[in-house]
Structure 1
Amino acid sequence: MTDQEEIHYLCCSDDPEKQIDGLNKLKINLSSLLDKHQAWNDLIKLSCDENRKVKWEAAEALSFAVPFMPDKGKVWDDLIRLINSKSCELSHFQTEALISAFMCISDKSKAWSDIHKLTKDKDSKLRDIAVSSFFFIFDSIPDKKQAWNDLHRLTKDKDPYVRSGVAGTISVIIDYVPDKQRAWKDLIKLINDEDVDVQKSAVRFLHYTVREFPNKQRAWNDLIKLTSHEYWHLHHFFEYGTLGYAFSGVQNKQKAWIELHRLANDVCINSRLIAASSLGPAYPHIPDEKIAWETLHKLTDDKVGEVRGGAARSLGFAFPYIFNKEEAWKDLHRLTNDNHWLAKIGAAEALGNAFPSVSNKEQAWGDLHRILNEKHKDEKIKAIQSLYSSFAYITDKQMAFEDLHRLIEDDNKYVRGLAGATIGHVFADIPDKQKAWEDLVRLTVDNNSLTRVHAYYDLGKVSIFKASQVENEDDYRKELERAIEFFEKASKENIKNISSNTTQFCLPFYRTLHTIIFEQKRAKEVIDRYLEEAEYAIRGSKSKEQLFEIVVILANALEEVQNFENLDLDVVKSETRLCTKYFDRVEELLRDTEKNAPFAVRTMRKGLPILKRNINEILEDIQKKTEQISEQTKGTPFEQLGNELSWSVQSLLKVTDPTGFKKDFEYFENNLSNISSKLPESQEIRKLLKCIREEQSIENKIPLINDLSSEILYQLGKMNSEKEKSGFIDSFATRASLLSFIVLELLNIWRPLSSTNHTICLLVIVIFFFFSLINYKHKTKN
């Protein structure tokens, strides 16, 4: 590992080459550097360097570095100062860093206040930074009403770059906007903006906006107007089936179908292209399936290749709903051999959607196999994407894998990367897993950094798959640790690809899982940091949110048990609650998540028994401590209370519902109070009992009962010590009295005393003896 002093020295150099060398070493070793505050200050300083290359390298690393910084508040303040200083013109890197910091910072109200101020800044570049960040952080902004008002205001901004950013943002965040009707109205207004770039930005994600916009009738009415010839320069954005997504919510579908049918038969190419692309999403909702099929069938034979490509994609969408699948398959099969590259690309894409419903899967695989061997990179890319989703349905999986094996050597970096990603995705179904593993390892030394990132990431995923399959606990731990190692390498390699978050979730997630299962003693020190890093990367993924919730639950459960490790009964109760409240919730989430993340879920299932076993070991230690109290009370007036305390521990271990737990916990608390009342007066015990009775929360009572248990053990030990001492004294006094009597009698034989003196001495000895005996019995009774 590179020494941090050396890195800091290089970063502070006046030589740009040394500065860049220092930056590269800083980025590679950032996660292991001890003084992250110094590393962050170096990045901030160099991001404003006079040398543009140095500035670029430093600014590019800012967003990557944010999650590793312990003081997120300082990071945020530094970034806001950097942006306001306008000393670094690389605003897109500052935006990325700002987004990263916003997702990590706990005080989002303050952070939002700073961004809100940027939306009103006189400098349009700062307003643009604010608007660009909205695109990613809107769902996490605490005051969405104010944020939306800012966006609405900025639709009238004088700078077209700002308006363009607003248009793209509204398209994506409409699902989170409080006033969706006004948002749609603003979007339509921006589509009619005087600036063409603003118009294009407004329609770029329109297919997504329509799906999320609840008023599909209004969307349909506005979109139909956009199909007119005056908007011809925007029509290619309708290739994503935008109009078709609005069709599902139209009230008068017969009328809407007539309009869509008219576009399909229009002489204008753009109109037919819009119809061809929209028929797929609309197909299940069209009232006349016969005419809908005839229209789609006709468009697959259109004289324009681009229209045929749109029709091919619609065939893929509509295939499960088409009654005459044999004819539909003939059309799709024909299009896979089309001479126009756009038509063939559309067909290649459609194969992935249609494959599960195609009866002649041998022929479908033959078409896909043929396209995978085409020379055109776009055709191969679409074919690989279809193979990604249809691999499980292919009968000749060995041949399919051989195609992927060949494509990882392709000249095009995107083809190689996508082929590797597909191998990682379908690894469980690949016959030759060793060869597939070697292919992924080979891609880790690819000359393209993003390909290397995905290769390491896929090796991590494959290791998770292996961990989900093993039976031996040592092998399970080995595969889990190997997965973490690959995710770490992907994270380091990902420095140059800040926008990619392929490993941002997996690395901290599986680190957390490993820590919970195997490193409970370290959990308190590192688990919060891992969870904070994972939380940043879950946006927009339901399965990641559920997996994240699972590890949070397990972390809380483990922490709770560890916090009560010195408790007698309470910890056992806490474990009971863990097994019911925590593990039941975990099992529920695992069931919900298994479909979308099967191997992650299976890996977690493999680890749960290990975690439960480790927790049970903690509970056994706790139970031993309660037995110590019971043992120390034997032969004393507290024996019955000690037995009841031990019994209540056993009862808590068997609790399976929260109500029963609360009842048994209160019984245990009463037992402790009864024992406390019988002990000698103690100010500490009296104080703890008062606090316990006033506290309403069971969770908050537990630490107090922990202290009370310790005090009781101390008092019992003290009493036993005094008892032994007292017993020794009583025994000594009694024996001394008897010995004195014997000595006096012997003296009397040797030198007789007078009758009066002898009687007095004997009387004193007898009184001393009975006084000692009464005193001993009185102490025993108490």
Structure 2
Amino acid sequence: MDQAKIHENTFSNDPKERLDALRQLKNNFNFLPRKKEAWNDIIRLTIDSNKSVQNQAMIAIDSVFRFVPEKIQCWADIVALLENKEFELRSSAAKSLYYAFQYTPKEENVWYDLSRLAKNKEKEVRKNAAYSLISAFRYAPNKKEAWDILHKLSTDVESEVRFSIAHEIGTVFRHIPDKEQALEDLFKLAGDEESTVRGATARSLIIAFRHLSENQQKDVWDPLLTLIEEESISVREEAIGSVLSEIEYLPEDYKKQAWKSLHKLRDSNIAVQITFLNFIPSAFQYLPDKQQAWQDLIILIENKNINVEYNAVHFLGSVFQHVPDKLQAFDDITQLTKNDDLNIRKHASSSIGYVFEHITEAEKNWEFLHELSKSNDIYIRSGTAKSIGIAYPHLSGRNKKQALKDIIRLATDNESIVRSEAASSLVYFVSNRSENCDKKAWDVLHKLTDDSDSSVRSSVAITISIAIEDIHEKKQAWNDLIKLSTDENISLKNKATFSLQYAVPHVPDKKQAVEDLIKLIEEKDGNVRANTVNALCRIVPHLNENNRSRVFKIIHSLIENNDWYVLPDIARSLGSVFQYIPEKEEAYKDLLRLKESDNIYVKVPATRSLGSIFIFKASQAKSEEEYKKELESAINYFEEAVKVSIPFNPAQFCLPFYRSFYTIIFKEQKEATEELEEYLEDAKSAIEGSENKKLLIEAVQNLANALKEVQNAENINLHAMKGELNFYREYCEYAAELMRDAEEAAPFATATIRKGLPILDRKLKSLLEEIQEKAKTACQESQGTDTEEIACAVSQKVQKWEISNPAGMAEYIEDISYSLKGKVQSHPENEYLLRKIELMKNETDLTKKFQLLSYIIGEIPTIKVVSEETVREGFNKIRLDIAAVDEKIEKINISLKPGIREELIVSVGPKIGGVGFEHTITIPLQEISYSELKEDLNKIMGVDIDRLSKLPKRLVEKIKGYLIKTGRIDILKKLT
């Protein structure tokens, strides 16, 4: 780069050459050796005689300010532009100050300038000064002086300035020293003559509400209700949206009052109704009168405005779980399937599936859904195909068989929209592990890869990518995805290749998968290549070192060739897989290069990836000093990444967490507490507007809880700090995936990511470590004893466990529960331990499950174990005993025992002294469960029975099986 030539061209008489010089200065500023000279050239060109040159120079200021070495002097240069005679230049300079302020928030000279600029005669300058003051208020060296400036601006003659205060002041309310005055200002702004100011005030009032005393909340509430019921439509929209977005945090009395006002608006302006509906899904569970809210939704569906009715019917399925009268709600949905509007019919029929998880009479309702699947209306059949999939996990065995038949029929429907929806629903069936359902469903799904309609084939690609982990025929599934990735239809091709990244970790032949992906890299379509790059990066952790190097060489060559289609994806992915790449130094240099790209969609993810790399490096540090240094470097990169505005920047999510983590580890307690309070607000602000906001808020809360645990820990040594940081790095990477653009991270991607979102629980982490250590000890102690086989098998199994997602962790417990129950003999000495195993299996709290397992593993060396020989002899004896039994009994007494789990009590023989029976057995209902169990039990309760054969046949077989399994031949003899 010839900086001397660029400098010379800034003096050219040809404006085109001056513009070209500006472009080179802006795009290459960080590479230039004489940055001060380059900055002066840009400042000089801001007062160029040519307007285009002026405008481009002001744009360049915003781009390069973060790279200038002497920021205070450069800040002063921008301030000087405010004295220029030209209004447009002064206005641009005011905006530039706002951007520049992000890089100098703690400089006292800058705060002094802002205080002066807040009194500037130009409204644009005052407005941007207000935004700047608020954005960094917590860093103000003198918060009282900063507040005095904002207070004065709240009464500015220009409504745009008052709007900036009204809209933003709530975000820093907790830091304001004079909260009483701040409230007074907000009350005045709530009555402002300009509707935009009044509407903006609602946002600040509701955000501030959480930080107020009870008396202050009472004072704020009436102005808020007034804004909700305002005549101005725009004010009502803003107020309703603000209140619903924060209703979760309102005390119960205020929720009721808010709902009373909101309920009045159900039949008002259409724009207000749509605002109401946009916030209802996330707010519904916190509403005080959910039944009324449901009825309001039903009424709004009858609205003749297509936007209102579409939004209302669209949310029925998502809020159904919170409705008190679910049978009535179900009836409402069934009525909507007969609506004249085809969109309402379709969405109503697709909402029915959500019913089955939440109502006790789901079995009876299955017939209705079954009949809908045979409707002549293609939109109802399409919606029903979706509902059958959602309902499937909650159906009985008999109805599951019919559901499979129905979904197979719909998957071969004449209409493509029906087949497409059925293909999507097959995801629930190919994961099933009973009655050969998964094989039948897979065969249908596999055939649909050759469907004549591309939308159906697209649905197939998505379904395979979600379900491949559970599909038996993984190799065929992968081959189907590769085939769809080379389809002639470009839209399908893009979706299929995008899905590869979620399927590739589960492919059995990783080496072949790499070969398949390498071929796709040669495709002409840029999006296909970009998607393939993502898949290649996703497979890296699952490869051996040679293949990892091979993949990295391919990625490196794409960077060298400057393939701009794939560079954003490489920049984003390299940070996630850096730890697995053998050529770490080369990967690091590649990211440094990408960080300097002119394209912000390459620059920002590359900068974030560099932050991730240094988080990893900190987790590998050998000293506390090195740990601190690497963590600081990571935070610096994240800070740099958030300073460039792109939609849903993942760095905005992780930066507040790492910054808070650093403060808690290395700074004073008081400062750490303040930082922790900031974290939730900053992180939630970063995810505003994301399609996956609900999941991200859950992730934010989990990270906040983790920060509190770290803060409360008495001593954290280097080993612990490294472990914590690596753990949280993985969590942030998952959350970052959820920040991706909604169109790109389609629903199937979100489902896959959500499934993999790790548990963030330090207590659970330490419990797992304790279990693994205990299991090792139990294996060692049991050497040469009857318990050696089980103790060492359990130890081998739990050593492979790691903190993952809730479903995966629960599955660990489920698997080991059955292993233990199969090995632990039904013996008086084992009775207590067996109860613990059963309790562990049924416990819903994951932490408690692991606490129980920790106890159980410690007891393994003391248990009585059933040897294979004993089991074989026992079954032979059972067969002989059953064949020889002809003794009858006078009476069988059967009763149900309530409790944390229902149990069947079977007592036989005469009472002894009138207080008991000769033989009694307690059977947990879940051990003999089948779909018609309760129906059969109702038939026999209170009925005298003298032999087992008089019980319903299904119940007889279940009881026999249980008694044989538990070795209770004494009872079986009496029952036969």
Corresponding position: 1:159 with 2:263: no
Instruction: Go from structure 1 to structure 2 and tell me whether the alpha carbon gap of 1:187 and 1:51 turns closer, same or farther (over 3 Å shift).
Output: same
| 1:310–1:343 Cα contact (<8 Å) kept | no
Query: Are residues 485 and 350 of structure 1, via their aligned partners in 2, closer, same or farther at CA, if it must alter by over 3 Å?
Result: closer
Kept after mapping to 2: 8 A contact 1:264/1:275: yes
Amino acid at match of 2:249: S
In structure 2, what is the Cα distance between the partners aligned to 1:103 and 1:454?
35
8 Å Cα contact 1:316-1:353 kept in structure 2: yes
Which range moved further: 451-460 or 464-473? 451-460
Residue by residue, what CA displacement relative to the aligned partner does 1:194-231 show, whole Å, maximum 9, x if unpaired? 22223443466778667999999977994997699943
> Match of 2:633?
482
| CA-CA distance at 1:530 after TM superposition | 0.8
Would you say 1:142 and 2:291 are equivalent positions?
no
Number of aligned residue pairs: 577
| 1:5 alignment partner, one of 99, 109, 112 | 112
Q: After TM superposition, give the deviation of residue 172 of structure 1 in Å.
A: 3.2
Partner of 2:390: 245
1:10 is displaced (CA, Å) by 2.4
Paired with 1:447 and 1:68, the residues of 2 have a C-alpha distance of 38
Q: 1:445-594 residue pairs with structure 2 within 5 A?
A: 445=596, 454-491=605-642, 493=643, 502-503=651-652, 506-507=655-656, 509-520=657-668, 523-524=669-670, 526-537=671-682, 540-542=696-698, 544-553=700-709, 555=711, 578=714
Distance across 2 between alignment mates of 1:56 and 1:372: 51
Give yes or no for the alignment of 1:276 onto 2:423: yes
Could you tell me which of 1, 13, 33 is aligned with 2:140? 33
Whether the aligned pair in 2 keeps the contact of 1:83 and 1:126 (CA below 8 Å) is no
1:521-578 superposed Cα distances (whole Å, 9 cap, x missing partner): xx32x23321110132566555543443344355457xxxxxxxxxxxxxxxxxxxx5
Any idea what SS the aligned residue of 1:300 has? helix
1:433 aligns with 2:584: yes
Where does residue 414 of structure 2 map in the other structure? 267
Write 1 or 2 for the structure with the bigger share of helix: 1
**Conservation of the 8 A alpha-carbon contact between 1:216 and 1:249:** no
Bigger RCO of structures 1 and 2 (CA < 8 A, at least 6 apart): 1
Partner in structure 2 of residue 572 of structure 1: none
Deviation at residue 137 of structure 1 after TM alignment: 2.9
On the 8 A contact 2:301/2:309 being kept in 1, the answer is: yes
Shift of 1:41: 6.8
Q: More deviation in 288-297 or 151-160?
A: 151-160
TM-score normalised by length of structure 1: 0.59
In the superposition, relative to structure 1, how do residues 444 and 354 fare at CA in structure 2: closer, same or farther (>3 Å)?
closer
Give the drift of 1:312: 0.9
The one-letter code of the counterpart of 2:411 is A
Residue 336 (structure 1) aligned with residue 493 (structure 2): no
**1:170 equivalent in alignment to 2:270:** no
**1:433-461 CA-partner distances (Å, limit 9, x unpaired):** 33443444455555566765555444333
Asked if 1 retains the 8 angstrom alpha-carbon contact of 2:514 and 2:536, the reply is: no
CA distance in 1 between partners of 2:563 and 2:133 (Å): 31
The answer as to whether partners of 2:225 and 2:261 remain within 8 angstroms in 1 is no
The Cα of 1:358 is off from its aligned counterpart by: 1.5
> Structure 1: which 5+ runs fail to align?
558-577, 609-782
Decide which moves more: 101-110 or 164-173. 101-110
Q: Which moved more, 1:199-208 or 1:256-265?
A: 199-208
Distance 1:66 1:177, change over 3 A: same
Q: Does the residue aligned with 2:431 lie in a helix, a strand or coil?
A: helix
- 1:548-697 residue pairs with structure 2 within 5 A? 548-553=704-709, 555=711, 578=714, 596=731
C-alpha separation in 2, matches of 1:153 and 1:63: 26
1:401–1:430 contact (8 Å) kept in structure 2: yes
What CA distance in whole angstroms lies between the structure 1 residues aligned with 2:506 and 2:664? 43
Deviations 1:680-724 (A, max 9, x none): xxxxxxxxxxxxxxxxxxxxxxxxxxxxxxxxxxxxxxxxxxxxx
Match of 2:53 in 1: none
State the 1:7 CA deviation: 1.6
Deviation, structure 1 residue 315: 1.2
How far is the alpha carbon of 1:189 from its aligned partner?
5.2
Give, in whole Å, the separation in 1 of the partners of 2:521 and 2:189: 49
Show CA shifts across 1:444-495 (max 9, x none): 555566765555444333322211111112111212222333344445x16x
Q: Point out where structure 2 has 5 or more consecutive residues left out of the alignment.
A: 1-106, 351-381, 685-695, 735-757, 767-976
Cα distance in 2 for partners of 1:55, 1:414 equals 44
Amino acid aligned to 1:270: I
The residue aligned with 1:89 is 196
Return closer, same or farther for 1:98/1:254 CA change in 2, 3 Å cut-off: farther
Deviation for aligned residue 1:133: 3.0
Alpha-carbon displacement from aligned partner over 1:292-316 (angstroms, at most 9, x marks no partner): 2233223322222122111110111
Contact residue 174 and residue 209 of structure 1 kept, 8 A: yes
Alpha-carbon distance in 1 for matches of 2:315, 2:530: 22
SS in 2 for 1:322: coil
Match of 1:197 among 295, 303, 307: 307
Asked if 1:323 is matched to 2:472, the reply is yes
Q: Are residues 1:421 and 2:566 paired?
A: no
The corresponding residue for 2:881 is: none
- Contact 1:546–1:589 (CA<8 Å) still a contact in 2? no
C-alpha contact 1:467 1:479 (8 A) present in aligned 2: yes
**Structure 1 match to 2:92:** none
**By how many angstroms is 1:139 displaced?**
3.1
Deviation at 1:418, TM superposition (A): 4.6
CA–CA separation in structure 1 for the residues paired with 2:307 and 2:162: 29
Cα distance change, pair 350–437 in 1 and its aligned pair in 2 (3 A): same
User: Does structure 2 conserve the Cα–Cα contact (< 8 Å) formed by 1:444 and 1:451?
Assistant: yes
Matched residue type, 1:266:
D
Question: Which residue is equivalent to 1:308?
Answer: 457
Partner of 2:14: none
Contact preservation (8 Å) 2:494, 2:528:
yes
Measured at CA, do residues 25 and 512 of structure 1 come closer, stay the same or move farther in structure 2, by a change above 3 Å?
Answer: closer
Q: CA deviation at 1:377?
A: 5.7
Letter in 1 for 2:615: I
2:233 partner letter: S
Q: Please give the alpha-carbon distance, in whole angstroms, between the structure 1 residues aligned to 2:345 and 2:333.
A: 14
Partner Cα distance (2:134, 2:445) in 1: 53
Following the alignment from structure 1 to structure 2, what is the Cα–Cα distance between the partners of residues 128 and 544? 27
Asked if structure 2 preserves the Cα contact closer than 8 Å seen for 1:421 and 1:455, the reply is yes
Q: How far apart are residue 272 of structure 1 and its match?
A: 2.3
Counterpart CA distance in 1 for 2:153 and 2:558 is 41
- Whole-Å separation in 2 of the counterparts to 1:155 and 1:256: 42
Rg (Cα) greater in structure: 1
Residue 409 of structure 1 deviates from its aligned partner by: 9.4
Distance 1:180 1:15, change over 3 A: closer
* CA gap 1:38/1:466 in 2 versus in 1, 3 angstroms: same
Query: Letter of the aligned partner of 2:635 in structure 1?
Result: I
CA RMSD of aligned residues (A): 5.4
User: How has the CA–CA distance of structure 1 residues 425 and 530 changed in structure 2, closer, same or farther, with 3 Å as cutoff?
Assistant: same
Aligned partner letter, 1:533: E
Alignment of 1:358 onto 2:358:
no
Q: Which residue of 2 aligns with 1:231?
A: 342
User: Matched residues in 2 for 1:64 and 1:199: separation?
Assistant: 34
Counterpart contact for 1:546–1:593, Cα < 8 Å? no
Shift of residue 153, structure 1, vs aligned partner: 1.6
- Displacement of 1:77 in angstroms is 6.4
